[in-house]
Amino acid sequence: MEKALVTGAAGFIGSNVVKELLSQGVKVRAMILPGEPIANLEGLKIGRTEGDILNPKDVARAMKGVDTVFHLAAIYSTWMLDWSKIYEVNLQGSRNVLWAATKSNTVQRVVYTSSIAALGTAPGKNLANEDTPFDQYDFGAHYVLTKYLSQQEALGFAENGLDLVVVNPAFPFGPGDIAPTPTGEIIKGILDGTLRFQFDGGINVADVRDVAKGHVLAAQKGKKGRKYILGNQNIAMGDFIRLVRKTAGMPQVALPKIPIPAMKAASHLFKAWADNFSHTRPMMTPSDAEMASRYLYFDVSRAKEELGLECRPITESIADSVQWFRETGVK
């Protein structure tokens, strides 16, 4: 791997993939959507090309002369007034990237960034893995559906000859979480005092820098047509909240627990208000509530055993994340 294209390079994971590649001496071309914030790329010695993955000519131009493609560009949203854009970008945009890679004379490997949202879940606190059948059709999460459908198309390209590996990041967090991500929102909410409750459910968390490392390892060691979960530790939401508070030096108080039925009922009211009146993202959507009520626990052994992915302790990641949020304005 000598020269890589990273789509979605200005994003949280994408910018960390760029940094990981640079640390290994790989030349990087970053594809950036015109007008998007690029704070996470400032000061990096990279080639930049502006373009939209919905424009095949932009994609072909960006891919010229690279040997490896990391496709991360996608829309992440759990609420939109018009859902057509998320299907266009996450499906047709991905097709454009995959077709360009297939036609390229220089591209030797594609690392396709999917999500654990594109995998099946296991009942209760059991662990799902890369081969757990997808089971998330029925609760109206358009983002989840687009990630699953685009993942399946990517695997189809691999079956038809494209040297492609799929990575499925878990819930990433860490410094530089500008958006922030859902995990970052939890940390930010704890620090600024807006998150004053807890709820059942659990997630698999991983430092974004380790997720980026997993992308590069997938390019180097991954098996064609294989999926790899890039995660670290399974943790209940209550435990995660307490760990963040402890790391931040906050008092350990007993936060009230919101019953799941009440949370789901409220989410429908929030969404109705957003759809019909405010036209701004609601505090919580029904799909948010559904996902929050589950224990999204995953077996991460494949990436460890086949790629050699090693992750730092989440306490270290939480400390770095807390420090970053505080330095950027959250007390």
Task: Report if residue 82 sits inside a domain.
Answer: yes
CA–CA separation, 159 and 134 (whole Å): 19
Q: Indicate the helix (H) or strand (E) that contains 184.
A: helix 182-192
Sheet order of strands, 171-173 included: 171-173, 202-207, 233-236
Averaged pLDDT for residues 190-204: 92
Q: What tens digit of pLDDT does each residue of 33-55 get?
A: 999 999 999 999 999 999 999 99
Is 9 part of a structural domain of the chain? yes
Spell out a b/e string for 248-268, using b for 16 or more CB atoms within 10 Å of the CB, else e: beeeeeebeeeebeebbebbe
57 pLDDT above the threshold of 90: yes
Instruction: Please indicate, yes or no, if residue 246 is contained in any of the structural domains.
Output: no
Contact (CB, 8 A) for 202 and 170:
no
Q: For residues 41 and 307, what is the distance between their CA atoms, to the nearest angstrom?
A: 26
CATH of the domain at 9: 3.40.50.720
Is there a contact between 235 and 314 (Cβ–Cβ < 8 Å)?
Answer: yes
Digit-coded pLDDT (tens) for 140-174:
799 999 999 999 999 999 999 999 999 999 999 99
**Cα–Cα separations (whole angstroms), residue 16 to 96, 175, 283:** 23, 10, 28
In this prediction, residues 277-282 reach a mean pLDDT of: 93
Are residues 158 and 219 in contact, defined by beta-carbon separation less than 8 angstroms? Answer: no
> Does 64 map to a domain?
yes
In tens, the pLDDT along 221-271 reads 999 999 999 999 999 999 999 999 999 999 988 889 999 999 999 999 999
Strand order in the sheet with 164-169: 47-50, 27-32, 3-7, 68-71, 109-113, 164-169, 227-230
Calculate the alpha carbon distances from 307 to 80, 107, 217, 228, 310 in Å.
36, 21, 6, 9, 9
Structural domain contains residue 34 = yes
| pLDDT for the residue numbered 330 | 74
331 pLDDT higher than 70? no
Is 161 part of a structural domain of the chain?
Answer: yes
In which domain, by residue range, is 113 found? Answer: 3-173+205-231
Instruction: Give how far Cα 83 sits from Cα of 11, 86, 270, Å.
Output: 21, 6, 18
Count how many domains the chain has: 1
In a domain, 99, yes or no: yes
pTM equals 0.96
In this predicted model, what pLDDT tens digit does every residue of 102-134 receive, in sequence order? 999 999 999 999 999 999 999 999 999 999 999
Q: Are 3 and 29 in contact (CB under 8 A)?
A: yes
